[in-house]
Structure 1
Amino acid sequence: MEIDKLVHQPTRLQLFAYLYANGETTFSDLADALELTEGNLASHIGRMEDEDCVAVEKTFVDRKPRTTYELTDRGERLFEDHVATLEALIDDFDAASDA
């Protein structure tokens, strides 16, 4: 049982969880919801994009740029695997404390 450091990093874990629960989300909505600076958000999203965990779409709405993010299938799988790993750790702790 190994924890994936890409997903486990606290800010990225919040990003994975938010995108998993909410689907496609704009940059500004992510920054606001998670109270992240633009630079911090861009850095973590970039790392997730490099690892093929998030899809980025850039469009124009009323002549203004709009960037949205959505977890890829790989990103969803990594997040689900991470949650399963954490649940297994909790189960192991519970079993050890019951013994």
Structure 2
Amino acid sequence: MDFDKLVHQQTRLQIFAYLYRHGEATFPELREELDLTEGNLSSHLGTMEDAGAVSVEKAFVDRTPQTTYALTDLGEEKFEEHVAALETLIDDID
């Protein structure tokens, strides 16, 4: 069974799962909740954005820049397919 490397990579899997569960999150929220460095998080989000799995919205809140991330339909589909593949793998163990 081959897993999609975009989703299967440990840090990105955490990001996928967090965004899938919460809908959207700001960069500082993701950094804090997932206990990642800014550089590490930025790199993985860039990879996800380049693959079309995450959308990025930049805005100003009280004159402070705020970047919010959410899974795209493609991102949700990739995550759901990954979860289904894991469930199949577990079911096949029995």
Is TM-score (shorter-chain normalized) higher than 0.5? Answer: yes
User: Which TM class, normalised by the smaller chain length?
Assistant: over 0.9
Q: CA RMSD in A?
A: 0.6
**Does structure 1 residue 80 correspond to structure 2 residue 80?**
yes
- 5 Å-filtered alignment, 1:7-86, equals 7-86=7-86
Identity score, percent = 67
Residues 43-65 of structure 1 show CA distances to partners (whole Å, capped at 9, x for unaligned) of 00000000000000000011100
Q: Which runs of structure 1 show a deviation greater than 6 angstroms over 4 or more consecutive aligned residues?
A: none
> What is the total number of aligned residue pairs between the two structures?
94
Q: TM-score by structure 2 length?
A: 0.98
Gaps of 5+ in 2: none
Code of the aligned partner of 2:27: F
User: Computing the radius of gyration over CA atoms, which structure comes out larger, 1 or 2?
Assistant: 1
Q: TM-score by structure 1 length?
A: 0.93
The Cα shift of 1:2 comes to 2.2
Gaps of 5+ in 1: 95-99
